[in-house]
Amino acid sequence: MVLESVGATASSAGAVEAQAAATAFKLRLSEYAAPGGGEDARLGLPAHRDTSFLAVVTQNGVDGVEVEFGRGDGGWARPTLSPSSFLVFSGDTLKALTNGQVYNPLHRVVVSGDEARYSAILFSLPVDGAAVRPLDETVDGDHPAMYRPFDYVFCYLPENMTPEVMKHAHKLEAFAAVRTTTTASAP
Ligand SMILES: O=C(O)CCC(=O)C(=O)O
Ligand SMILES: [Fe+2]
């Protein structure tokens, strides 16, 4: 559905089917201990952008996910989620695939109160060896490719994911942005 919204259809060069075949899934279960004892809220997971296509998050009745407001200039929104709600984050891979059309927000986890927070996240991500690049349907003369093809598994190797890199607010841009250089003309 998201791919269709940027012009890829089931009939257009098999783009949708090809993506489905090149997608793997990873499930992560997390426990965030409560600070308790009247302690202040504390960071459970630093601000980051997901690297995946999509991440579907569900949790027990304890809120904690915060999402950047206004593309980074308006603080943090803290959605209230019922245990039957799902929060969906787009990640670097989906941003690259849609040539920047689908924004991937910064988010973090902040825990407070006396009750532990549990979350389950299903990530969809490219399979080993699949090159990620903007879909043909998203690139034209007015919208040149913003990202060069990259191997997700290679770029986001766990050993490359140092705490510094994990927290880097623009990993995709650092790994794969097409850089254009302009040469200043002589006066
Ligand atoms: O545990 C959560 O609710 C979110 C965790 C998260 O953003 C992540 O693992 O990428
Ligand atoms: Fe995340």
Ligand 1 proximity of 112 Cβ (cutoff 6 Å) = no
Strands 150-151 and 42-48: unpaired
**CATH architecture of the domain covering 2-176:** Sandwich (2.60)
Q: Of all protein residues, whose CA lies closest to atom 2 belonging to ligand 1?
A: 119
Q: Which ligand is nearest to the CA of 119?
A: 1
pLDDT of residue 13: 57
CA dist 147 and 102 (Å) reads: 13
Ligand 1 proximity of 109 Cβ (cutoff 6 Å) = yes
pLDDT of residue 11: 54
Residue-range domain boundaries for the chain: 2-176
pLDDT of residue 170: 85
Alpha carbon distances (Å) from 27 to 54, 82, 120, 123, 130: 12, 20, 7, 6, 20
Question: pLDDT 10s digit of each residue in the chain, 187 long?
Answer: 777 777 776 555 566 677 788 899 999 999 999 988 777 899 999 999 999 999 999 999 999 999 999 876 789 999 999 889 999 999 999 999 999 999 999 999 999 999 999 999 999 999 988 889 999 999 999 999 999 998 888 777 777 777 777 667 788 888 888 977 666 665 5
Q: Which residue has the tokens 């027990």?
A: 60
Ligand 1 proximity of 45 Cβ (cutoff 6 Å) = yes
Ligand 1 proximity of 119 Cβ (cutoff 6 Å) = yes
